Amino acid sequence: MILVFQNMFYHHASMVNSGSDIIGNIYSKRAKLAEYLRLGEIADELSLQNSLLRMQLSVNYIQADTNFRIVSDSLKKQRYRYLTAKVVNNSLNRETNYITLDKGYSSGVSNQMGVISGGSIVGYVTNVSEDFAVVMPVLHRSFRTSVLMKNSTDLGLLSWQTGDPEHANIDDIPKHVHVQIGDTVLTSGFSGYFPPLISVGYVTEVIDNADENKYHITIRLSTQFRKLNYVELVENILLPQQEALEQQAMEANGTDNP
């Protein structure tokens, strides 16, 4: 067989072609395996790219007052900064659920940073160690944040009373606001944790009690908490300055509210 394959052109060519097919198939399978093993790395890269793109959105900047001076040689001053992290633990079936992330203060994480995923709210950071952070998600009985209906300036309060990881509640939306099933709910930006106009969910039920002047609304959350893998931490760079000023105002007025 060796003599035949070495001396007969047709048989030699057939052997080379067959060998090339076999080797090509091996290389192809190896490439697919390598790509599969890199899925985590690819997801990390995509998550980082999303954060970088989100930082370029105009909502993350405030207009500087150029009547007096230029701030950092720019007409805009950055307000929000983003950092990606991976979910390493996530609970769904408790009244006080928590999410653990693989980033801590060594990576720049601090308390009160908002957490979003895919452009929808997740929660905010409550505890930080050197390499990990714990998040209070929307799916927590103590979670509260300010929201509004799309195309409206009237504020409501988001909370979680349903016990269902796919739904939450909104109260305090006044009845003069026209609310329909399917309407979009967004963050107001007033809580300090989240930028304005981040997706919260969609209205699924509106309860109108005759003896009240506000609605009780149930929404379907935009975030799929069962599938959380990568998230973005949002730092409100100006929040410490805002809170310090409001605290000064409260102390000066001797009241609980500035």
Helix (H, G, I), strand (E, B) or coil at 70: coil
Residue type, 212: E
pLDDT tier, 70 (very low <50, low <70, confident <90, very high otherwise) = very low
3-state secondary structure string across 121-188 = EEEEEEEECCCCEEEEECCECCCCEEEEECCCCCEEEEECCCCCCCEEEEEEEECCCCCCCCCEEEEC
Single pTM value for the model: 0.70
| CA dihedral of 131, 159, 90, 229, whole degrees rounded to 10 | -80
Closest alpha carbon to 154 in 180, 176, 121: 176
Sign of the dihedral through C-alpha 136, 139, 145, 147: positive
With residue 89 as reference, give the H or E element that holds it.
Answer: strand 80-90
Domain boundaries, the chain: 2-37, 81-238
Lowest mean pLDDT among 25-29, 181-185, 249-253: 25-29
Question: CA-based angle 51:57:61, to the nearest 5?
Answer: 110
> Using CA of residue 246, residue 252, residue 254, residue 258, what is the dihedral sign?
negative
pLDDT tens digits along 127-155: 999 999 999 999 999 999 999 999 888 99
Rg (CA), the chain: 27
pLDDT at position 187 is 95
pLDDT averaged over the chain? Answer: 80
- CA nearest 160: which of 150, 149, 171? 171
Q: Are strands 167-174 and 155-159 parallel, antiparallel or unpaired?
A: antiparallel
Stretch 34-59: mean pLDDT: 55
Asked: is 81-238 a CATH 3.40.1190.20 domain? The reply is no
